[in-house]
A and B are shown apart, each in its own frame.
Chain A
Amino acid sequence: DAKTTQPPSMDCAEGRAANLPCNHSTISGNEYVYWYRQIHSQGPQYIIHGLKNNETNEMASLIITEDRKSSTLILPHATLRDTAVYYCIVRVGDTGFQKLVFGTGTRLLVSP
């Protein structure tokens, strides 16, 4: 699976949009981009995933560049409860039982 690079930490004001970048320059054509987050002392929580089109769900939006070498997770109106470590993961396929390999992630701190 391709390697990802994320900034170690980011700050965001409550109510503002949080834009979390991820570089995956070695991504191959059949690899998807997944985002998970982990709130302190809890198991990770799935947020969103995509292949090449932008995706949106009730939690967030995922913007993938045309060359697919980077992506951005957008939390449109960050709340204090969005403070967590956010992991960007690239892996093959969106079916089956391939393992997820976590990088170091971005620690997002949402402040009042």
Chain B
Amino acid sequence: GAVVSQHPSWVICKSGTSVKIECRSLDFQATTMFWYRQFPKQSLMLMATSNEGSKATYEQGVEKDKFLINHASLTLSTLTVTSAHPEDSSFYICSARDQGKGAEAFFGQGTRLTVV
């Protein structure tokens, strides 16, 4: 199946710094990618829809100035957590659909962010 790769797999950063997470579709083009956040023992929460060449669409309650999304090409979307704080520590997951194939979405392996 199609492969979605995230980088890094895990990251530890200091409070107040910014962290960038990359999501790549390795063998297909994705005009749309999705970013999720997952806290321990909870389900995935959709944060935003990333659209190639245009602004992301954020879910209610997600601060767009804090979670910057850039979808500069058909194979790459980035999520930047700005001025990170300990409460931003979470598991961040992206997904994409191969527009040339069927209905299933493919997910990256996730990025575990720890803010200290």
User: What residues make up the interface of A, taking CB atoms closer than 8 Å to B?
Assistant: 32, 34, 38, 41-46, 49, 87, 93-95, 97, 99-105
> Which of B13-21, B65-73, B80-88, B100-108 participates in binding chain A?
B100-108
Tell me if A100 and B91 are in contact (CB < 8 A): no
User: What residues make up the interface of B, taking CB atoms closer than 8 Å to A?
Assistant: 1, 4, 6, 31-32, 34, 36, 43-46, 49, 91, 93, 95, 97, 99, 102-110, 112
Alpha-carbon gap, A53 to B103, bound state (A): 16
Tell me if A46 and B44 are in contact (CB < 8 A): no
Chain B residue contacts of A100, Cβ below 8 A: 34, 46, 95, 105
Sample (12) of A-B pairs whose CB atoms are under 8 Å apart = A41-B91, A43-B6, A43-B108, A46-B1, A97-B32, A99-B46, A100-B34, A100-B95, A100-B105, A102-B46, A103-B43, A105-B43
Identity of the chain A residue whose Cβ is nearest the Cβ of B44 in the assembled complex: A102
